[in-house]
Structure 1
Amino acid sequence: MKTALTIAGSDSSGGAGIQADLKTMIANGVYAMTAITALTAQNTTGVQGIFEVTPEFLEQQIDSVFTDIRPDAVKIGMVSSVGLIESIAKKLKQYEAEKIVVDPVMVATSGSRLISEDAIGALKELLLPMATVLTPNIPETEVLSGMEVKTADDMIAAAKYISETYHCAVLCKGGHQLNDANDLLYRNGDYKWFNGKRIDNPNTHGTGCTLSSAIASNLAKGYDLDTAVERAKAYISGALAAMLDLGQGSGPMDHGFDFRGKGFAEEKA
């Protein structure tokens, strides 16, 4: 069985972060492992508290994983401090990790900044150049490129700048009212649009975490990047189309929409 490691924060409500990553990885057929960067107290209405782990403890978790069950791919999500970013970069270099998907979580869907300027600097310097692919949303694309992104052409220009600056592929995600479900993959001076179908579901908590984990899972299984993105988009469309409706805010998706045991089918019958 192929394996994947997620390095990210925990979401106590189970819709995003480590919990979304675990659910996504198992649904996409890989064995999932974790290195937790922070505990959060959060739910569908927002984040009520954050408790970061120390860089030393994060390194211990990464050591524990790599020295026993080596991951075939690594997904990196929320890392909000310089010390944690330095620890991740150090360990991934030490173990010569491959197939690294970085979801540069900087700006919440609501628009609020989630990481300090110092940490953004460390992310750019240390982690982005190690990435196989980055998966920024529109606000994050604007932060990384220093450009305003209002049109499809803006997406291409910004993705080109990011790809050439950090020498990695960039999957610039539509949404945020721009091109809604259409994502742009830019790498090696070329680009490709991945068109998705707009699913009218307001419950989108954890979509970014889920997409990046699905890409990492498919890379772990040996698919090329284009195919990994295609498969990940199909998975997320299914999870949204299942129309799960939980919580009082922007609720989670149904990560297990395609993954029901016999007991579930019998109960429904």
Structure 2
Amino acid sequence: MQRLPVSEVWGIASRLERRLAGYGVTSVWDLATVDAAQIRKWFNVVMQRTALELRGVAVIGPEEDRTGKKDQLIVSRSFSEKVTTVSGIRQALSVYAQQAATRLVKHSQVARSLTAFAGTSHWHEQKHYPSARVRLPFPTADPVELTRAAHQLLPQIQDGTRYARAGLMLTDLLPADTHLSLELFRASHEDASIATLIDAVQKKTGGREVIGLGYGGLRPGPSWTMKRGMLTPRATTHWDELATVRA
């Protein structure tokens, strides 16, 4: 620790290293042995905790894994070209509802409330931002129910208005395995695991446009889909985009 510069500590970059040097803290050992109250006075409680951790005092707990514990889920995209018809917005909402259903199933969650929204560009003189909040008949991740709820926004959509984006926000999320709706209130298709089936087929065939429900199942994809021709290669997350090195 006496030989290592203080910049070897995670979170201490060159600018912070220079400030520490001004107080005579140049090595990891210096930071570990400095008075904890003084280091907090010079900097903040985060730096104080870092110094205490270097002494072996556990003051920084592990981050909580919030995978699948989100309080809300949002599916929204800006359109690559403006959508000016009710049918175009209907298609977008259908696609987003199916994507939302897939994500709920992935995290073993169900939703009790859905908000559908659309909007024009903030810089366009024609401004319209309709939204509709729908209380779902029962907590669900079923794409049929989510699509039906999303379409309740459509009466507010104006033909001819140039919408720049649309989306869905699901709230009141619950763990799927702790809340099962009574048989009386379940839709007949609820046990068919449609969202899981759609996701499996899309993964196997390599595209979201391969299969879908109603307006959400089209190929080629909608013209308003975000263009990704200039997308940076995802070398760390996708096997088919791994970086190739030649020597």
TM-score, structure 1 length as denominator? Answer: 0.23
TM-score, structure 2 length as denominator? Answer: 0.25
Larger Rg: 2
